[in-house]
């Protein structure tokens, strides 16, 4: 069956004509990639609008706009939508589009599953977002959903089922990516010749398969505790609320790396292109990603230093967490070394990549500070943590996604985006994101707890600055939308096949826009065509 | 603002204060540990940042195509890679040593001269005095919740000005309670912390730590306050709609004053709305006490 279906397409290079056929029934990795990216962008704006509500309420002391309960729904939904709706699908979309092009495969290994794993998402998010309109409101216990608080929510069942769906989608996506990378590489594309982006996704996919079921288990236990009389986390029945936190963070910490490893891959593609020099230490980069992935399984309790762990556990998790800084540092040093001795130009993708390196590193610094347990007793659950994870997630993951969009958009559409407006978008974003998040370090150090709708006047100054930065950062993203729409529909400037002067890798050997079907005949891989120079010296 | 800063520098370090940039040094025998670690780690980060970002900016300046830079071909250098893996490891070992020292001293809850039980509720705290100087205390315990003025002001559309919620010169909007926890200084106080409903977290920055209050679990922590004064904190674990509105206020007084206060409480021996805290003779915060009681009425 599947074979027949793929067979039909062999004779024509064009997409199916009907809208429904092309998009809803698609089994084409490029179309599905596009769907993922559009979905992710939509969720980026939905989640962003929740953030605007949060920052508006925090603009000054006193409650002006929303009730505290709704404020909590906003923080919870903002995080869930951004993590599961914006960042993760964006990476899957990029993987869908680029992995087959980068390894010389005609499509993903499992095209129908690919379709399914995308089309689950709109349903999952409809379920999740619908809770905002139900009596009782949406989930308000934080994205971490700690019991017993999360068990007080009327919308728990909706959220749990939505998470199950997202988890199924992610697992199918991950299986597909692993199957594609392991089975469909063009002859000559050895594992250690793959672009770093492909490597980063291979490792991420294993993380996904390992931890999404853990999350599913954790939330299912919430569900049975609430509706079926179990007592996994209920102390009155002999359960333990802290057990949930262990299970959740066993998922949660690898999850944060799921959101950053593909970003590392993207940056490792972009920097060499615009430095016109092969990536420094290709093997070290791959090993660093692998060791970060491994370590991410043994650091989870660094989110729980305040629950009263035994001394030995505190010490173990502190040391393991600090260890992660080493491979992370190696990556940063290698990017800088790639630039050193290069011949750099600063198109928009490169600007975002450079901002990523600097600002992600700042997030890594605060991460290192958070790892020191006695200091974490102060930082934990304050705005210092909020600043930390927004530096790694917004100026880390999201900036990498934007860099990737600018980098590959001409390949996808066949047109150049407006470099001028791309740069405007970059400079607005990079300035305002710091106005938004940097002052939050100070708020946290001064002791402002996170997830509060109102605060003492001592916190007023930095909150107002942060809110102004937030509104402007939010507005700047409309420029991003404009640049994309312009490039897709209106740009007259044709993109070359090799869009960037010294871009290397198979994806630049196919025409721009990439035709509906590529590499139906496996390409011949020439080592000097690959992005990372000589692997073996 | 200058007034508040002056106040912050003067009596009893009123934290948080506007434009506060760093952690508080705190007022206990232990609270210097996180402060010190924070400063050392921050310094380390700044130095590494200057080196890495400095190298990056030099690279961006020297190796730009517009200056005619020709790309080099190398992509590997084992020596350099070993160096920049080893040096961070050494730095981390130093930080780990310092952090472990601080952690071990925090974990030592032995030798306490007093025990206070802290219980979190949605959305208030309960304090029970368990023992003092080896003697059990019975029936001294009370609820401690957001003061009435803050509570009125914080309602959506109350029309009241948060800046007008003051205790003496200090703005105490959302940082004041009807009945503070009173503790003696120069006494190792052991806290046993738990919750009756959801998870909360008991957090007073001036003590240098927070500890989760978890139903079904009893956590322990300790403090030994050096300076009399009023110290304010907040619940630090999301606990529902009024999570932002269950502050913590600790009034640290001399041992003599504490003994008097305790005796009075024991006499009253009634559960919750017992006698108001005796006027403290501590120079630090007589005004504060007066209006804490004012807020009660
Ligand atoms: C050098 C690397 C890093 C270290 C040492 C580190 C360390 C930490 C620690 C200790 C915490 C817990 C803080 C607390 O709650 O008290 C934390 C929180 C967090 N980190 Fe990191 N981190 C690092 C990198 C990252 C990366 C790469 C991401 C994601 C892209 C990330 C995302 C987060 C998030 C989302 C939280 C908060 C979760 C929550 O409580 O809601 N971190 N980090
Ligand atoms: Cu973590
Ligand atoms: Cu709380």
Give pLDDT tens digits for A247-256.
999 999 999 9
- Flag if A64 and B156 touch (Cβ within 8 Å): yes
Instruction: Using a CB–CB cutoff of 8 Å, tell me whether A231 touches chain B.
Output: no
The residues facing B234 across adjacent strands are B203
Higher pLDDT, B199 or A528: B199
Q: Which two tokens mark A117?
A: 């794993």
* Residues A417/A420/A423/A429 CA torsion (nearest 10 deg): -90
ipTM metric? 0.91
How close does chain B come to A279, measured CA to CA in Å? 6
Which of A65, A329, A448 has its CB closest to that of B88? A329
Sign (positive or negative) of CA dihedral B83, B85, B86, B90 = positive
Check CB contact of B153 with chain A, cutoff 8 Å: yes
Q: Residue A526: what pLDDT?
A: 84
**pLDDT value at position A532?**
65
**Mean pLDDT to the nearest integer, A289-303:** 96
Distance, CA A423 to ligand 2 centroid (Å)? 33
- Which ligand approaches the C-alpha of residue A451 most closely? 3
Pocket test for ligand 1, best of A91, A370, A386 (most atoms within 8 A of CB): A370
Average pLDDT for chain B: 86
Cα-based angle B81, B83, B85 (whole degrees, multiple of 5): 70
- Reported as a single tens digit per residue, the pLDDT across B217-268 is 999 999 999 999 999 999 999 999 999 999 999 999 999 999 999 999 988 8
Q: Which atom of ligand 1 is nearest to the CA of A396?
A: 30
Q: Does A192 touch chain B (CB under 8 A)?
A: no
Say how many Å lie between the CA of residue B125 and the centre of ligand 3.
10
User: Which of the two residues, A520 and B274, has the higher pLDDT score?
Assistant: A520
pLDDT in tens, A14-43: 667 788 888 999 999 999 999 999 999 999
Q: Give the one of A240, A281, A332 whose C-beta lies nearest to B81's C-beta.
A: A281
Read off the pLDDT band of A435 (50, 70, 90).
very high
Question: Are A166 and A124 a contacting pair, CB within 8 Å?
Answer: yes
**Residues A74-114: pLDDT tens digits?**
999 999 999 999 999 999 999 999 999 999 999 999 999 99
Q: CA torsion, points A177, A183, A188, A189, in degrees to nearest 10?
A: 10
How confident is the model at residue A502, as a pLDDT? 87
Burial of B271 (0-12, 13-18, 19+ CB in 10 A): exposed
Who lines ligand 1 at CB under 6 A?
A 144, 256, 259-260, 302-303, 321, 324-325, 328, 364, 367-368, 370-371, 376, 379-380, 385, 388-389, 392-393, 396-397
pTM, 2 dp: 0.92
Gap from CA of A306 to ligand 3 centroid (Å): 14
Confidence tier at A5 by pLDDT (50, 70, 90): very low
DSSP state of A488: I
The closest CB to that of B76, out of A281, A343, A373, belongs to A281
Q: Is the dihedral of CA A228, A229, A233, A239 positive or negative?
A: negative
B80 in contact with A, Cβ within 8 Å: yes
pLDDT in tens, B93-125: 999 999 999 999 999 999 999 999 999 999 999
Looking at the predicted structure, is the pLDDT value of residue B1 above 50? no
Ligand nearest to the CA of B240: 3
The yes-or-no verdict on residue A12 having pLDDT over 60 is no
Of B107, B235, B243, which to mutate for an interface test with A (greatest number of A Cβ within 10 Å)? B243
Task: Name the band, by pLDDT with cuts 50, 70 and 90, for residue B139.
Answer: confident
Atom of ligand 1 nearest to the CA of A370: 10
User: Do residues B253 and B261 lie in contact, with contact meaning Cβ atoms separated by under 8 Å?
Assistant: yes
Nearest residue of chain B to residue A307 (CA atoms): B212
Predicted confidence (pLDDT) at residue B2 exceeds the cutoff of 60: no
For residue range B259-273, list pLDDT tens digits in order: 999 999 988 865 545
pLDDT for residue B287: 36
Contact between A378 and B34 using a beta-carbon 8 Å cutoff: yes
Query: What percentage of chain A exceeds 90 in pLDDT?
Result: 91
Which atom of ligand 1 lies nearest, measured to the CA of A393?
30
Catalytic residue ranges of A: 78, 107, 143, 169-170, 253, 255, 257, 268, 302-303, 328, 331, 450
Confidence of residue B3 (pLDDT cuts 50, 70, 90): very low
At residue A478 the predicted structure's pLDDT band, cuts being 50, 70 and 90, is very high
- Determine the distance separating the centroid of ligand 2 and the alpha carbon of B116, expressed in angstroms: 32
Q: Which of A521, A523, A491, A494 is nearest to A507 (CA)?
A: A523
């Amino acid at each position: 069956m599947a074979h027949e279906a793929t067979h039909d397409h062999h004779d024509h290079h064009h997409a199916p004509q009907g809208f429904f056929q092309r998009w809803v029934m698609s089994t084409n990795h490029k179309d599905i990639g596009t769907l993922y990216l559009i979905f992710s962008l939509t969720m980026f704006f939905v989640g962003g609008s929740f953030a605007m509500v949060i920052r508006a309420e925090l603009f000054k002391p006193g409650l002006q706009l929303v009730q505290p309960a709704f404020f909590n729904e906003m923080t919870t939904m903002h995080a869930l939508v951004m993590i599961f709706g914006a960042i993760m699908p964006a990476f899957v979309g990029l993987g869908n589009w680029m992995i087959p092009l980068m390894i010389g495969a005609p499509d993903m290994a499992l095209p129908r599953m690919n379709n399914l794993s995308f089309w689950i998402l709109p349903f999952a998010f409809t379920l999740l977002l619908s809770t905002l309109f139900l009596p009782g409101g949406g989930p308000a216990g934080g994205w971490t959903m700690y019991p017993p608080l999360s068990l007080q929510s009327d919308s728990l069942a909706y959220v749990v089922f939505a998470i199950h769906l997202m988890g199924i989608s992610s697992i199918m996506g991950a299986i597909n990516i692993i199957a594609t990378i392991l089975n469909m590489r063009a002859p000559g594309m050895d594992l250690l010749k793959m672009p770093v982006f492909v490597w980063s996704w291979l490792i991420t996919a294993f993380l996904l398969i390992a931890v999404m079921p853990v999350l599913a288990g954790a939330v299912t236990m919430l569900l049975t505790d609430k509706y079926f009389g179990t007592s996994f986390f209920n102390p009155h029945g002999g359960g333990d609320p802290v057990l949930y936190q262990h299970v959740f963070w066993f998922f949660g910490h690898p999850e944060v790396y799921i959101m950053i490893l593909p970003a590392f891959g993207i940056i490792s593609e972009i920097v060499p292109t615009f430095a016109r020099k092969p990536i420094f230490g290709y093997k070290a980069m791959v090993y660093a990603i692998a060791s970060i992935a491994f370590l991410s399984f043994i650091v989870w309790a660094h989110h729980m230093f305040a629950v009263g762990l035994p001394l030995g556990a505190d010490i173990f998790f502190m040391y393991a967490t600090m260890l992660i800084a080493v491979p992370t540092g190696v990556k940063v040093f290698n990017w800088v070394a790639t630039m050193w001795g290069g011949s750099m130009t600063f198109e928009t993708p490169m600007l975002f990549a450079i901002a990523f390196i600097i600002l992600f590193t700042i997030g890594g610094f605060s991460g290192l500070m958070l790892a020191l347990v006695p200091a974490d007793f102060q930082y934990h659950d304050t705005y210092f943590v909020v600043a930390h994870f927004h530096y790694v997630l917004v100026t880390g993951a999201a900036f990498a996604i934007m860099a990737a969009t600018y980098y590959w958009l001409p390949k996808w559409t066949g047109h150049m985006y407006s470099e001028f407006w791309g740069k405007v978008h970059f400079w607005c974003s990079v300035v305002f994101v710091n106005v938004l998040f940097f002052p939050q370090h100070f708020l946290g150090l001064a002791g402002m707890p996170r997830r509060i709708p109102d605060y003492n006047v001592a916190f007023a100054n930095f909150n107002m600055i942060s809110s102004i930065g937030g509104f402007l950062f939010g507005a700047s993203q409309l420029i991003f939308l404009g640049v994309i729409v312009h490039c897709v529909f209106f740009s007259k400037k044709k993109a070359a096949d090799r869009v960037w002067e010294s871009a290397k890798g198979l994806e630049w050997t196919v025409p721009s826009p990439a035709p509906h079907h590529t590499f139906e005949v496996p390409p011949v891989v020439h080592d000097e065509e690959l992005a990372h120079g000589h692997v073996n010296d | 603002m200058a007034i508040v800063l002056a106040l912050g520098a003067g009596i009893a370090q009123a934290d948080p204060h506007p434009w506060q940039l760093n952690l508080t040094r705190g007022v206990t025998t232990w609270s210097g540990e996180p402060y010190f670690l924070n400063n050392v780690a921050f310094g380390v980060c700044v130095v590494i940042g200057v080196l890495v970002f400095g190298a990056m900016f030099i690279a961006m300046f020297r190796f730009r195509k517009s200056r005619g830079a020709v790309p080099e071909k190398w992509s590997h250098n084992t020596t350099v890679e070993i160096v920049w893996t080893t040096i961070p490891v050494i730095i981390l070992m130093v930080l780990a040593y310092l952090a472990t020292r601080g952690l071990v001293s925090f974990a030592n809850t032995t030798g306490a001269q007093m025990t206070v039980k802290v219980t979190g509720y949605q959305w208030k705290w309960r304090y029970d005095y368990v023992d003092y100087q080896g003697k059990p205390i019975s029936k001294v315990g009370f609820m401690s919740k957001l003061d009435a003025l803050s509570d009125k002001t914080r309602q959506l559309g109350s029309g009241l000005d948060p800046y007008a919620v003051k205790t003496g010169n200090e703005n105490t909007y959302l940082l004041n309670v009807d009945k503070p926890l009173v503790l003696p200084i120069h006494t190792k106080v052991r806290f046993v912390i738990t919750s009756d409903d959801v998870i909360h977290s008991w957090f007073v920055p001036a003590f240098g730590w927070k500890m989760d209050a978890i139903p079904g679990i009893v956590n322990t922590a300790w403090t030994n306050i050096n300076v009399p004064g009023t110290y304010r904190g907040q619940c630090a674990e999301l606990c529902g709609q009024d999570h932002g509105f269950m502050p913590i206020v600790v009034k640290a007084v001399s041992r003599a004053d504490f003994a008097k206060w305790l005796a009075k409480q024991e006499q009253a021996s009634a559960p919750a709305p017992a006698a108001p805290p005796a006027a403290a003779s501590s120079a630090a915060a007589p005004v504060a006490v007066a209006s804490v009681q004012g807020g009660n009425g």
